[in-house]
């Protein structure tokens, strides 16, 4: 595969109202399938995406430490809802409202997850963007302490 490092830009691609990004990953976070809109928005070819780690589309503003509690929820069978900022290969970005659901096999074990992402409202993007900036600016342990003091957690 080509060098995957991209430099995020400021141009934003807006999802159309009826666009649904859908893809599946295995338990190791490797992309196993994706609908055409996912491939189109990512800027990668299907061959580049399939088998790649999901973090190929993780925006640098999304700290790795923030992902860990979300992954923990999925492993225990809980679904996750989040506003997510994703970059494309060319550095453009798109905001989505994501619903990530664990995939459960016949043995009742999590064997991956499905992600369905759709257009998010401008007000939600503005709010989430401000929160991302605040989270990025503080150490993760401080974020966890603040959330604990408020009687909540990242989820």
Residue 32 is part of a domain; what is its CATH number?
3.30.450.20
Mapped onto helix, strand or coil, the DSSP state of residue 37 is: helix
> Within a domain: residue 2?
no
Pick the closest to residue 153 from 72, 77, 64, 99 (CA basis). 72
Q: What is the mean pLDDT of residues 100-112?
A: 92
pLDDT for residue 45 is more than 70: yes
Global model pTM greater than 0.85? no
> Within a domain: residue 1?
no
CB-based burial of residue 2 (10 Å sphere; 0-12 exposed, 13-18 middle, 19+ buried)?
exposed
> Within a domain: residue 5?
no
> Within a domain: residue 10?
no
pLDDT of residue 130: 76
Half-sphere exposure of residue 57, counting CA atoms within 13 Å on the CB side? Answer: 30
Higher pLDDT, 75 or 2: 75
pLDDT band at 95 (very low <50, low <70, confident <90, very high): confident
| Mean pLDDT (the chain, rounded) | 80
Q: Which helix (H) or strand (E) holds 20?
A: strand 20-25
Distance CA(8)–CA(18), nearest Å, equals 26
Pick the closest to residue 135 from 94, 97, 83 (CA basis). 83
pLDDT band at 137 (very low <50, low <70, confident <90, very high): low
φ and ψ at residue 73, rounded to 5 degrees: -65, -45
Domains in the chain, number:
1
pLDDT of residue 72: 76
Q: Is 92 left (phi over 0), alpha (psi -120 to 50) or beta?
A: beta
**Of the ranges 27-41, 45-59, 112-126, 127-141, which one carries the lowest mean pLDDT score?**
127-141
> Within a domain: residue 8?
no
> Within a domain: residue 95?
yes
> Within a domain: residue 7?
no
Calculate the alpha carbon distances from 108 to 10, 24, 40, 76 in Å: 42, 18, 33, 11
Task: Answer whether 79's CB lies under 8 Å from 102's CB.
Answer: yes
> Within a domain: residue 121?
yes
Question: What domain range includes position 116?
Answer: 20-149
pLDDT tens-place string over residues 31-43: 999 888 888 888 8
């Amino acid at each position: 595969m080509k060098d995957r490092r991209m430099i995020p830009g400021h141009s934003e691609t807006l999802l159309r109202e009826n666009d649904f990004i859908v893809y599946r990953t295995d338990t190791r976070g490797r992309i196993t399938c994706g609908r055409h809109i996912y491939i189109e928005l990512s800027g990668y070819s299907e061959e580049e995406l399939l088998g790649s780690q999901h973090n190929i589309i993780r925006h640098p503003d999304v700290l790795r430490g923030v992902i860990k509690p979300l992954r923990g929820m999925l492993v225990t069978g809980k679904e996750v809802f989040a506003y997510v900022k994703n970059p494309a290969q060319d550095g453009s970005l798109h905001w989505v409202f994501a619903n990530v659901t664990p995939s459960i096999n016949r043995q009742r074990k999590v064997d991956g997850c499905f992600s369905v992402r759709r257009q998010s409202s401008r007000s939600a993007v503005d709010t989430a963007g401000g929160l991302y900036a605040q989270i990025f600016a503080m150490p993760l342990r401080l974020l966890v302490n603040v959330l604990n003091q408020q009687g909540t957690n990242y989820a």
